[in-house]
A and B are shown apart, each in its own frame.
Chain A
């Protein structure tokens, strides 16, 4: 390009030539330099024996700075081309990285998992639907399905029910903010942390001379004249003791979303009903519930999906033993304990199929909401 222009501007031909070469060199040099800097950072982080704090600082700066630098350099390169090409290429500088990552981490893996699910444990031979037959007939899988059903029904039911109750009650209290912050707090706690907190409640020392139960639940049982119990190894009730943890974690979520929906109900609607002599229960069931139905449905959906994929609580509390296994834990066990990629993939596909109705619903909502 520089050469062609150079012929028309004879006096400046050398300048043009030089600057053209310079431009090309710089255009090559900058990306190469960027790559080298980032590569060096990677090597340092992989091999360095520096103090942990230094490594952490370098990692954070390298990671965040690296991504910013990549955007900056690729945009700089694109803006060096002609106006027409800038127009064509720039959108891909903006959208490209996101699309590439989504493709690598979610879209393509879905297809690859589908492929793996019809292959054997080492992904070498085609086995047809064997893995799916396992997924739907194996005794442990059936137990996992049953437990996930318990989680979905009772976990979701109690989380949403309690969340709704608290949202409605807190709306009438002066201390609304404090109550809501307290109920909401477990959302910031990891499932593993919550596991430790509740394991301490359920802890059981057994019988013996001078044994003092230090778990709150057993202490209460003893104070009421009962005998201490090993709560987490009592099928099928142990499932419910685990579900309590999920309710403790998720009620805050349901409460926050439902509370904002309740606050959005027009005041006139409630006033009119009161003037007509409706009592509080009638107002709740005949006005509030129908008005917030949409929000209620989306909260229920979110928590049902959550309980379908539930893993950490069971993994940490019981490891899936004593009749507490769930689908996501069986996925982990198949892949990482037995090394069976085929069966694990089939289980993952089952999870995906279970959320397909939600995906379709989301897409339909999205299409209705805006003309994209």
Chain B
């Protein structure tokens, strides 16, 4: 394969410019949305509502040079003179050009009586970095911030800190438990004999692509009867149940391919199935276990539907907290963007650290219900 790509690349060196050009363009398209959110999450709340995040880059625009306080005697409901120019309040709010190229802009409402003199020119990297947005979104108490016109606004915090811990409490066992159960089952299907083995495995394969929705209504009835709604246990069991077909299928494919003589020699030494499984098979299956673990972890961490139905507002996880924020504070972008990043930070790190295993898992079983 190495020789193939090497020779192919030599031949294509002429068009390689265009290949890279198109790819860079696509990659820019792919990263700009996330980048914009990342930048916004670190901007001061007042700046966010006053200008787009891209204004942090050098660009041409108006900058404040000085301020004028309009004299209290002037009636601003009529046209009045300021800096040698006569204009109305409405005109000033939109900006009035002075003969020398500068601009007058009224800030805020009529009572503020504040006019800024602005000049047009290049603005350098204009970013007012802050971690306040993250502090506010993690907090469960009352948060205060300033909007574009400088008014103080109060909001109930969304307690993303607790949601983050809840997500860990849901996601870690929901990843390990199905792996453990599926590994036992995969070993059983691959190396043990029992009645109904073939039929049971066929059912596992059939369940691979069954949509989750089919189970939600009956399981909710069970959970209500068992008073399990809102508990971590309910989530672990649900994610285990829904993740098992793929887990058993993937691990069966791997464990079933392990060489037979390893097991046979262990049997001759008098080892039991349990010993062979825990001492021999589990360590050998680590690559397959890791692939599935990453897959399942991302799946559970990013899940919204199952959490929405079985967890409710008690113990809510990051996806639910974030979705609730979109509903309650759809325009509070300083909280939404930092909240989105808190929900993404762990899966993104896992993903970039263990990408190789993840890709292997995807290619091994590209069917998930």
21 A-B pairs with C-beta separation under 8 A? A45-B231, A59-B169, A60-B169, A75-B274, A108-B218, A172-B16, A172-B19, A173-B20, A185-B352, A186-B34, A190-B347, A192-B326, A196-B337, A197-B340, A200-B40, A200-B336, A216-B33, A216-B54, A267-B7, A302-B368, A351-B211
Q: How far is the CA of A198 from the CA of B337 in the complex (A)?
A: 11
Known: A94-B188, A98-B244, A190-B344. A63 touches B232 (CB 8 A): yes
The answer to whether A98 touches B185 (Cβ under 8 A) is yes
B298-320, CB under 8 A of A: which get 1 and which 0? 10011111001100000000110
> How far apart are B343's CB and chain A's nearest CB, in angstroms?
5
Please choose the segment from A1-9, A235-243, A256-264 that sits at the chain B interface, where 4 or more of its residues have CB less than 8 A away: A256-264
Known: A98-B185, A309-B213, A336-B309. A198 touches B33 (CB 8 A): yes
Q: Which of A55, A109, A196, A200 has the most CB of B within 10 A?
A: A196
> How far apart are B365's CB and chain A's nearest CB, in angstroms?
10
> How far apart are B34's CB and chain A's nearest CB, in angstroms?
6
Please choose the segment from B22-30, B73-81, B115-123, B262-270 that sits at the chain A interface, where 4 or more of its residues have CB less than 8 A away: B22-30
Q: How far is the CA of A150 from the CA of B32 in the complex (A)?
A: 26
Closest to B342 in A: A193
Q: Quick one: which of B9, B16, B233, B319 contacts A42, CB cutoff 8 A?
A: B233
Q: Which residues of A contact B19 (CB under 8 A)?
A: 169, 172-173
Q: Quick one: which of B169, B177, B214, B232 contacts A109, CB cutoff 8 A?
A: B214
Known: A91-B192, A248-B30. A196 touches B340 (CB 8 A): yes
A181-202, CB under 8 A of B: which get 1 and which 0? 1111111111111011111110
What 5 pairs between A and B have smallest CB-CB spacing? A105-B241, A267-B4, A94-B188, A190-B302, A63-B173
Q: Which residues of B contact A (CB under 8 A)?
A: 1, 3-5, 7-9, 11-12, 15-16, 19-20, 22-23, 26-27, 30-34, 36-37, 40, 48-54, 90, 93-94, 162, 165-166, 168-169, 172-173, 176-177, 180-182, 184-185, 187-189, 192-194, 197-198, 200-219, 222, 231-233, 236-238, 240-242, 244-245, 248, 272-274, 277, 298, 301-305, 308-309, 318-319, 322-323, 326, 330-331, 333, 336-337, 339-340, 343-344, 347-348, 350-352, 355, 359, 362-363, 366-369
Q: Which residues of A contact B173 (CB under 8 A)?
A: 59-60, 63-64
Q: Which residues of B contact A129 (CB under 8 A)?
A: none
Q: Is the interface of A mostly helix, strand, loop or mixed?
A: helix
The answer to whether B169 touches A216 (Cβ under 8 A) is no
The answer to whether B218 touches A109 (Cβ under 8 A) is yes
The answer to whether A91 touches B218 (Cβ under 8 A) is no
The answer to whether A214 touches B200 (Cβ under 8 A) is no
The answer to whether A192 touches B323 (Cβ under 8 A) is yes
Closest to A209 in B: B93
Known: A201-B36, A256-B363, A362-B367. A106 touches B245 (CB 8 A): yes
The answer to whether A191 touches B210 (Cβ under 8 A) is no
Q: How far is the CA of A249 from the CA of B363 in the complex (A)?
A: 17
Q: How far is the CA of A372 from the CA of B241 in the complex (A)?
A: 24
Q: A287 interface residue, CB < 8 Å from B? A: no
Known: A92-B194, A98-B184. A212 touches B52 (CB 8 A): yes
Tally inter-chain residue pairs, CB-CB below 8 A. 351
Q: Quick one: which of A79, A95, A174 contacts B189, CB cutoff 8 A?
A: A95
Q: Quick one: which of A64, A162, A214, A335 contacts B52, CB cutoff 8 A?
A: A214
The answer to whether B219 touches A109 (Cβ under 8 A) is yes
Chain A, interface residues (CB within 8 Å), range: 35 or more
Closest to A98 in B: B185
The answer to whether B204 touches A200 (Cβ under 8 A) is no
Closest to B249 in A: A366
The answer to whether A106 touches B241 (Cβ under 8 A) is yes
Known: A64-B177, A67-B177, A256-B359. A189 touches B348 (CB 8 A): yes
The answer to whether A116 touches B217 (Cβ under 8 A) is yes
> How far apart are A13's CB and chain B's nearest CB, in angstroms?
30
The answer to whether A363 touches B189 (Cβ under 8 A) is no
The answer to whether A363 touches B206 (Cβ under 8 A) is yes
Q: How far is the CA of A189 from the CA of B240 in the complex (A)?
A: 21
The answer to whether A267 touches B3 (Cβ under 8 A) is yes
The answer to whether B339 touches A196 (Cβ under 8 A) is yes
Q: Which residues of A contact B181 (CB under 8 A)?
A: 67, 97-98, 101
Please choose the segment from A19-27, A28-36, A139-147, A311-319 that sits at the chain B interface, where 4 or more of its residues have CB less than 8 A away: A311-319
Q: A333 interface residue, CB < 8 Å from B? A: no
> How far apart are A276's CB and chain B's nearest CB, in angstroms?
15
The answer to whether A106 touches B213 (Cβ under 8 A) is no
Given contacts A105-B240, A172-B16, 17 further A-B contacts (CB under 8 A): A67-B176, A71-B180, A91-B197, A94-B187, A94-B273, A104-B241, A109-B219, A113-B217, A185-B31, A192-B304, A197-B37, A200-B333, A214-B49, A216-B32, A216-B33, A216-B52, A267-B7
